[in-house]
Every structure is written in C-alpha cells, then in structure tokens.
Amino acid sequence: MSVITCVEDLRLLARKRVPRMFYDYADSGSWTESTYRANEQDFQRILLRQRVAVDIERRSVRSRMLGEEVAMPVALAPTGLTGMQHADGEILAARAAEAFGVPFTLSTMSICSIEDIAAHTRAPFWFQLYVMRDRGFIERLIERAKAARCSALMLTLDLQILGQRHKDLKNGLSAPPKPTVRNLLNLATKPRWVLGMARTPRRSFGNIVGHATGVTDLSSLSSWTSQQFDPSLSWKDVEWIKRQWGGKLIVKGVLDAEDARLAADSGADALIVSNHGGRQLDGAPSSIAALPAIVDAVGPRLEVWLDGGIRSGQDVFKALALGARGTLIGRAFLYGLGAMGEAGVTRCLELIRNELDLTMAFCGLDGVSRIDRRALVGEPGRAPA
C-alpha cells in the first residue's frame, strides 16, 4: 500500500475494500448530485491570504465546541450504516475520536447501538436523533442516550422525507446485503470486509431492532422505517425534544437564515449548517455558500458549525474564516474507516489536523480563535439570506 498523504488516498482505498452498495451509500448524493459536488467544489473557490515574517512558532489548533475542549474544531458527524463500511464501524470510529480528542456523534440509524458505544468508550459522546411518528420510541431513545452519558443531543431536521438517491435504489441497499447473485459476486472481491462481518453479531440497526414496538427482525424493520419518519415535524417538536432531553441541544440541517433564527428561538445551543451531504434537496446551496448569511443572522446567539464537503484541514480553516466555530466530517472519516478501520479514522484526523496547522502557519496565525475573514482574499459569494 502506498503512503497515505490525503483524504483522497483513503477514499480510493475504501472504494477497493468496501462492498459497492455501502461505498455508494456513503459517496453519493440525490438526483443529479449537483449539491453533493458543490459542497466540495465551492471550497476551492475560496482563496487564502498568505502572510510572511510573522512569529508562528507556538501554534495550536486546540479549541472548544459546546464548552468541551477539543484537539481541533472538528467532530465526527452522525452517519448511517457506519458499521457496514467496516465491521463494528461505529465502535472503531468512536474509539479513534476519543483517543484523538474530538467528539463522536452516533446516528440513530447506526449498526452499533448506543449501549455498544458506551461499553467501548470512556469519553462522553453525542447522539443524533431523527424524529419518528412513534414518540414513545423517541422518549425511550432519549432516555437511553442519557443512560449512556451522552453529553449532547443532535437533532436532524432535514430528513422528514427521504431524498431520491439513484445509486441506493439501483444497488438495492439493505443491511446486511441481500444474497443476490450481483451482491455475492461483489462480496467475493472484498474478503477483508466479509471476514470482519463474519466475526461480529452487529449487522443491522442496533438502536431500533428489539427497541421499537413490533420491530424484531429485518422484514419488520423495513416496513417500520418506511412509515416512521415524520413529515409533521415542526419547531414545537424541537422545543418538546429540548424539554425531554434537558441538556445541550444541537440542531442539524439548517441552510436558511430565517430557519437559523427559529433554531435560536427554539433553545438550541448550536446549529449545523448542512444540506445532509447533498443527499436531500439537490439544487440547494452548498453548506459553505450558505454559512456567511447564517453566521451574520445568529452568530452571537448560539454556536454555528458547518458540515458538508470538508476533505482537508484547509476546508476547516475556510469554514472558520467565514464564521463557523466548529466543523463536522462525515465522508472523510468514513473513507478512513472503510480503508483501514480504526487506524484509518485516526489517519484521517491526523491529516486534517496537520493541514489545518500548516494553513494557519502560512496565513500568519498561531491559534484557531484568530482565524476570521481577514485570512481570505476577497469576499466569497453568499447564498441569499
């Protein structure tokens, strides 16, 4: 294996090692994938202001997110089916994040359960919640997150209905994969993945099977999930969840300045500018294009973070320069996980930290708190407020 020098190296290795349906699940968007591509491409249009002859000897990328000290202003985003990129994937990613000193977020639609993560880590983690029609199940999920010592609840707001993802439909996405001829032929080329899966009992949605009423196996799970995402979700529900949780609340999926103001009014402690990785509304603005207007609208009232398109420490730097106080990575760490397991997640975090540190140095800055719009050349375009 060649030397891993960037996240793209991890992506290429993951593509070789992860079964097609799960690689495509992670590395694709909805419809034409225009927003998915824009999330990355719009970062490239932002130019950095190089400075020289500045004392940069004592640099640090350490920061804080929601009052927690972090090794850098980056958290692992909630990603569904993480345990299908690599056996026990959520556990491995959580351990890598803990050792590195950044937050890990477990998805409702994870393979490993809340209890699995709590049993294999010592640091508090964050839990991401989808609102389902079965509010009793939601109440029980919140209680399980409390019992697992989760330090924040992340509520995703942009998946009341599912965006059409052509690759998932064509691949017949399921967890575990159905034993079709096409799937079996593909799995035969992924012996490392198959061996890992053979050694673990975790192959379905650990937070749901055996916990949701009437869901005892894969067939009942499929019908339950198709009926449970709640299109009636409103800001009143956000306020209800805040009361049920009683702790720090993060809302994810905000792209509009008015929605950001409503999020602040709802009692959220942080919001994440995100378009769900370009997997929901195709044709929506990239996350980085939407960020400045949202920061201007609500920045002092709550922490504004960015998710979507980050593949390097330079992308993190640019998000901070445009006003984000933190960032999240999803695909980037999934590439590392699929490529090399826990070591791959660690390598992804190392790459991003080193790139952030070097970019700060070239821009004449010695701390994350000093990164602002003055570190950019010109004024990047903005999405409408």
Name the residues annotated as catalytic.
276
C-alpha dihedral (237, 269, 256, 297), degrees to nearest 10: 130
Q: Print burial letters for 156-177: b (CB count within 10 Å at least 16), e (below 16).
A: bbbbbeebebebbeebebbbeb
CA distance 337 to 348: 9
User: Does a cis peptide bond (omega within 30 degrees of 0) precede residue 176?
Assistant: yes
CA distance 225 to 4: 38
Two tokens at 92?
């491995």
The dihedrals phi and psi of 307, each to the nearest 5 degrees, come to -135, 135
What single-letter amino acid sits at 101? G
H/E segment holding residue 17: helix 7-17
CA distance 327 to 305: 5
Distance of CA 306 to the CA centre of its chain: 10
Please give, one letter per residue, the 3-state secondary structure of 102-119: CCEEECCCCCCCHHHHHH
Q: Which residues contact 354 (CB under 8 A, 6 or more apart)?
A: 313
Two tokens at 112?
């490993």
Coil, strand, or helix at residue 63?
Answer: strand
The dihedrals phi and psi of 63, each to the nearest 5 degrees, come to -155, -165
